[in-house]
Amino acid sequence: MQRLVLLGGGHAQLAVVQALAQHRRSPVETVLVTPAPRQVYSGMLPGWLAGHYTEAQCVIALAPLATAAGVTLRQATAVGLDASARMVQLDDGGVLGYDVLSVNTGPVQDPRSWGAAGVPTLRPVEDWLARTTRRLAVAPPRRVVVVGGGAAGFELALAWRYRLGAVAEVAIVTGVSGLLANYPGAVQRLGARALAERGVRCIAGAAREIVSDAVVTADGRIWAADEIVLATGTVAPRWLQGSGLALAPDGGLATLPTLQSVSHPEVFAAGDVASRLDQPLPKSGVYAVRAGAALAANVLGRLAGRAPVPWAAPVRTLNLLSLGERSAIAAWGPLAVQGGWVWRWKDRIDRGFMARHGTGSGPVAT
Ligand SMILES: Cc1cc2nc3c(=O)[nH]c(=O)nc-3n(C[C@H](O)[C@H](O)[C@H](O)COP(=O)(O)OP(=O)(O)OC[C@H]3O[C@@H](n4cnc5c(N)ncnc54)[C@H](O)[C@@H]3O)c2cc1C
């Protein structure tokens, strides 16, 4: 019997599990390796922090999906991989052999670069969610500093502002590339205006050091905080190194247009852990979701002996950034618009995605 191992239950992998449920094939044993029995949907996290959604509305329960697909859920974390032996090493000491491997474990943050123990990173998202839930239950913060001016940092700074109201101070340290650096000028301008209008201080430049109760910026200024969110850039997981899999210059698992490893055709990867060599794609949840159908088709095709089909990744995607209250910015290519209707649009898309994976019900009325 062939064994398919699904490493990580990320956005794209959900499509593989769904496809397995639709085309159950008995001669294949499938194991889903996941650190938690659920997948947090990051697209709705800022809305959760702002109070628009409950936690239950933002998480996908993986166990029922696995059961429906005849997949065994193994709650563990991959800590190593030997591609020549086709073996995955797990943090519980177990070793899992595979015939076909589908990797969608997302990226990691490396807090060691900040030189401070206990720096509150945004990833793993599951840990951040638990820590923030505890924090809110004890005493909401009064001074929040978000480090990182990308989409996640921007949305979370505005979500904190909305949640805490005017009594709190909220600031965002953008990093050397500036606010929303991966977005076109029109989005950056709307983003900067949104922060200013809502009283979120935008600190241009890099953070140099983070201590337990302050962020020190490169110019030596100290920003006191009783809540720090480290939303800095992400990197590929370290366990890929030494795996024998070909890696891209950014450390990600190097893939072909078919989402196959460049070096090992029985290994497929999608989402932020993968780096497509022919067409470098933005590391984003939108691309991870969009890759799902192709990942599913090619992984199942490999098991059935069919040739893989290249994935034609979209050149541009719709990006929606929430602004704390029920308003959002929509970005499409160089164009950007903002309004309450954009938030309602985003809400429909997000809840539609969750409903497809068994998580239902509408937004909490506030
Ligand atoms: C607050 C926030 C807001 C964001 N907003 C946006 C946005 O507006 N637009 C956008 O495009 N992107 C956004 N992002 C980025 C987006 O979340 C990522 O690009 C996306 O999550 C990548 O998806 P993925 O499926 O590759 O990985 P993930 O969603 O991280 O899923 C990976 C899964 O693999 C599991 N896993 C991790 N390591 C291992 C391991 N070693 N072994 C087994 N399993 C493992 C994880 O537990 C997780 O379930 C945001 C991120 C955050 C945190």
Q: Where are the domains of the chain?
A: 2-35+76-107+234-304, 111-232
Answer for the pair 334, 184: CB distance below 8 angstroms, yes or no.
yes
Q: Is the CB of 153 under 6 A from ligand 1?
A: no
Q: Which of 174-178, 220-224, 310-314, 356-360 has the lowest mean pLDDT?
A: 356-360
> Residue-wise over 17-54: b if at least 16 C-beta within 10 A, else e?
bbbbeeeeeeebebbbbbbeebbbbbbbbbbbbbbbbe
Sorting pLDDT into bands at 50, 70 and 90, what band is 358? confident
- Give residue-wise pLDDT tens across range 52-78: 999 999 999 999 999 999 999 999 999
Average pLDDT, the chain: 93
pLDDT score, position 364 = 47
Higher-pLDDT residue of 362 and 36 is 36
pLDDT score, position 27 = 81
Question: Residue 303, SS3?
Answer: helix
Mean pLDDT of 201-224: 92
Ligand 1 center to 107 CA (angstroms): 7
DSSP state of 112: G
Atom of ligand 1 nearest to the CA of 90: 42
Mean pLDDT of 303-307: 95
Atom of ligand 1 nearest to the CA of 283: 19
Sorting pLDDT into bands at 50, 70 and 90, what band is 118? low
pLDDT score, position 211 = 82
Sorting pLDDT into bands at 50, 70 and 90, what band is 360? low
Q: Is the CB of 337 under 6 A from ligand 1?
A: no
Same fold, 2-35+76-107+234-304 and 111-232: yes
Which residues, including other chains, have CB under 8 Å from residue 227's CB and lie 6 or more apart?
Answer: 135, 141, 143, 144, 145, 160
Sorting pLDDT into bands at 50, 70 and 90, what band is 256? very high
Pocket-testing residue among 79, 104, 105, 230, ligand 1, by greatest number of atoms within 8 A of Cβ = 105
- Give residue-wise pLDDT tens across range 42-54: 999 999 999 999 9
pTM of the predicted protein model: 0.94
Determine the topology of domain 2-35+76-107+234-304 in CATH: FAD/NAD(P)-binding domain (3.50.50)
pLDDT score, position 234 = 87
111-232 CATH choice from 2.60.120.380, 3.50.50.60, 1.10.10.10, 3.40.190.10: 3.50.50.60
pLDDT score, position 362 = 47
